[in-house]
């Protein structure tokens, strides 16, 4: 009898501890997921504020319609992503309520079982009280002290069951409170979704109005195509100039046709690679309006462009800064596109173009976030656009990298 009670008690305690631990793990996971969604929501709101600043600037000039449309498209994309994020938060909140209800039901069942077992134990102890004390304690115990310890064990067992029952009651109250909070949160999120849907509709209306304005201003398709062709030639000219300058650097450092890094350069490369996804942006504020790689033109669906970097729309004459410590290896001018600075980070190069002024010198060593120069204004004089590239040199090859996956998330 003693062995059976002890084994049952051990099993019960272990099961309860496992249950409580698993509930804590589930709750922590859900909280972590909710926190991540909330953090992303805050980042998107920050990006919306920055794009609104740019829109306010572009609307100061009638010539800025193209720039305004690009930024507006980006803002609408942020708004849609924000709506998805809020829906994800709503789904997670609903799932958490469901999990909590299941856990509360499970706890209720556990509590009922504990009460039944507790009553059975009391009934058993009452019916067998004489036998327990006269037979088990006197004949089975080796001495009085052992009998006394057995009696205390039963008392502790009873007290422990009461304690565990109270813990479950407390846990139930906790989950009920959490569910009340989560239900309130769901109502708040529903209101937010309605608010953002309304705002999204307004942005789409503005976008459509802007497109109508563009169609009125740029009615001559041939003139429009010629304009974009000129822009693409300018972009290709910048891309070729940058590629040619990096090739010159490679040639100077690699006369024997095999690019070998010095120990210092290897360390610089390693440090640069370790910061992938954590590099600061080349401008303190702004939004990416032209992404990396081959892409369809934002206004001419039949036209594709190739971008070796990214273009970040930012406030007029913004300051450009180094994204990582390194040495200035090239400074050159591209007619019609301002100045360009190249910084070496071992096997990597970062490129900063469209600069109006340059505050650094050739072979100067820079620290992370050190000022390089300021940006040119766009054709309407309302905002600026930072062109940023990252190149990797490996052996005799050089390849552009996608800066978006190197810069930290905003």
Regarding whether 170 and 269 lie in a shared domain, the answer is no
- pTM score, whole prediction: 0.65
Round to whole Å and give the CA distance between 295 and 67. 18
Q: What is the pLDDT along the chain (410 residues), one digit of tens a residue?
A: 444 444 444 444 444 444 444 445 555 656 677 788 878 778 877 877 778 777 777 766 655 556 777 787 888 888 888 888 888 888 888 887 887 788 777 777 777 776 776 676 666 656 655 544 444 544 465 666 766 666 666 667 667 767 767 777 777 787 787 778 778 778 877 887 887 888 788 778 777 876 776 676 566 556 656 666 776 777 788 888 888 888 887 777 666 444 567 778 888 899 999 999 999 999 999 999 889 988 776 555 566 778 999 999 999 889 999 999 999 999 999 887 899 999 999 999 999 999 999 999 999 999 999 999 999 988 777 889 999 999 998 777 889 999 999 999 87
> Residue 17: what pLDDT?
44
Regarding whether 231 and 159 lie in a shared domain, the answer is no
Regarding whether 253 and 185 lie in a shared domain, the answer is no
Q: Domain boundary residue among 170, 198, 216?
A: 216
User: Could you tell me whether strands 310-315 and 319-321 are parallel, antiparallel, or unpaired per DSSP bridges?
Assistant: unpaired
Residue 44 in any domain: the answer is: yes
Residue 410 in any domain: the answer is: no
> Residue 15: what pLDDT?
43
User: Which CATH number belongs to the domain containing residue 304 in this structure?
Assistant: 2.70.70.10
Residues comprising the chain, all counted: 410
Regarding whether 201 and 292 lie in a shared domain, the answer is no
> Residue 2: what pLDDT?
44
Count how many domains the chain has: 2
Regarding whether 290 and 174 lie in a shared domain, the answer is no
Regarding whether 135 and 160 lie in a shared domain, the answer is yes
Q: Domain boundary residue among 198, 216, 234?
A: 216
Closest CA to 239 of 308, 170, 285, 150: 308
Regarding whether 166 and 137 lie in a shared domain, the answer is yes
Do the Cβ atoms of 30 and 92 come closer than 8 Å? yes
Residue partners of 79: CB distance under 8 A and separation at least 6: 48, 196, 199, 200, 203
> Residue 169: what pLDDT?
77
Regarding whether 329 and 238 lie in a shared domain, the answer is yes
Do the Cβ atoms of 365 and 325 come closer than 8 Å? yes
DSSP lists the bridge partners of residue 293 as 307
Regarding whether 381 and 268 lie in a shared domain, the answer is yes
Q: Domain boundary residue among 182, 216, 250?
A: 216
Round to whole Å and give the CA distance between 341 and 128. 93
> Residue 14: what pLDDT?
44
> Residue 177: what pLDDT?
79
Regarding whether 234 and 163 lie in a shared domain, the answer is no
Round to whole Å and give the CA distance between 293 and 310. 9
Regarding whether 290 and 310 lie in a shared domain, the answer is yes
H or E segment and range at residue 329:
strand 326-333
81's tokens: 């992503």
Residue 324 in any domain: the answer is: yes
Regarding whether 198 and 238 lie in a shared domain, the answer is no
> Residue 227: what pLDDT?
65
> Residue 238: what pLDDT?
84
Q: What is the dihedral of CA 69, 74, 80, 85, to 10 degrees?
A: -160
Residue 22 in any domain: the answer is: yes
Which residue range is the domain that position 336 belongs to? 222-405
> Residue 299: what pLDDT?
59
> Residue 254: what pLDDT?
65
> Residue 96: what pLDDT?
79
**For 197, phi and psi rounded to 5 degrees?**
-65, -45
Residue 63 in any domain: the answer is: yes
> Residue 330: what pLDDT?
93
Do the Cβ atoms of 73 and 25 come closer than 8 Å? no
Residue 285 in any domain: the answer is: yes
């Amino acid at each position: 009898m003693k062995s059976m009670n002890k084994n049952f008690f051990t099993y019960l305690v272990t099961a309860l501890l496992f249950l409580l631990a698993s509930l804590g793990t589930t709750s922590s996971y859900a909280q972590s997921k909710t926190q991540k969604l909330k953090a992303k929501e805050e980042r998107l709101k920050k990006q919306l504020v920055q794009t609104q600043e740019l829109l306010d600037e572009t609307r100061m000039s009638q010539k800025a319609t193209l720039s305004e449309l690009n930024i507006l498209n980006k803002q609408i994309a942020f708004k849609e992503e924000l709506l998805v994020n809020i829906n994800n938060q709503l789904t997670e909140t609903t799932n958490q309520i469901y999990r909590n209800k299941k856990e509360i039901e499970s706890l209720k069942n556990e509590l009922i079982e504990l009460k039944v077992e507790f009553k059975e134990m009391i009934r058993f102890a009452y019916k067998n009280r004489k036998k327990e004390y006269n037979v088990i304690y006197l004949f089975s115990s080796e001495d009085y002290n052992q009998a006394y310890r057995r009696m205390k064990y039963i008392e502790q067992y009873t007290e422990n069951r009461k304690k565990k029952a109270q813990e479950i009651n407390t846990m139930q109250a906790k989950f009920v409170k959490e569910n009340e909070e989560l239900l309130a949160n769901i109502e708040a999120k529903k209101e937010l979704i309605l608010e953002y849907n309304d705002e999204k509709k307004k942005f789409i209306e503005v976008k459509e109005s802007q497109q109508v304005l563009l169609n009125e201003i740029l009615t001559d398709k041939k003139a429009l195509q010629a304009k974009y062709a000129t822009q693409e030639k300018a972009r290709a000219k910048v891309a070729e100039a940058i590629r040619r300058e990096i090739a010159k650097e490679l040639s100077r450092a690699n006369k024997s046709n095999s690019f070998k890094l010095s120990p210092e350069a290897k360390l610089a490369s390693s440090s640069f690679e370790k910061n992938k996804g954590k590099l600061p942006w080349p401008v303190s504020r702004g939004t990416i309006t032209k992404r990396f790689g081959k892409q369809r033109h934002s206004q001419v669906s039949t036209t594709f462009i190739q971008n070796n970097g990214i273009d970040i729309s930012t406030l007029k004459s913004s300051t450009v800064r180094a994204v990582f410590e390194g040495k200035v290896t090239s400074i050159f001018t591209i007619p019609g596109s301002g100045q360009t600075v190249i910084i070496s980070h071992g096997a990597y190069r970062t490129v900063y173009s469209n600069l109006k002024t340059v505050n650094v010198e050739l072979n100067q060593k820079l620290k992370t976030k050190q000022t390089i120069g300021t940006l040119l204004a766009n054709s309407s004089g309302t905002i600026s656009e930072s062109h940023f590239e990252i190149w990797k040199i490996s052996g005799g090859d050089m390849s552009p990298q996608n800066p978006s996956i190197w810069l930290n998330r905003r």
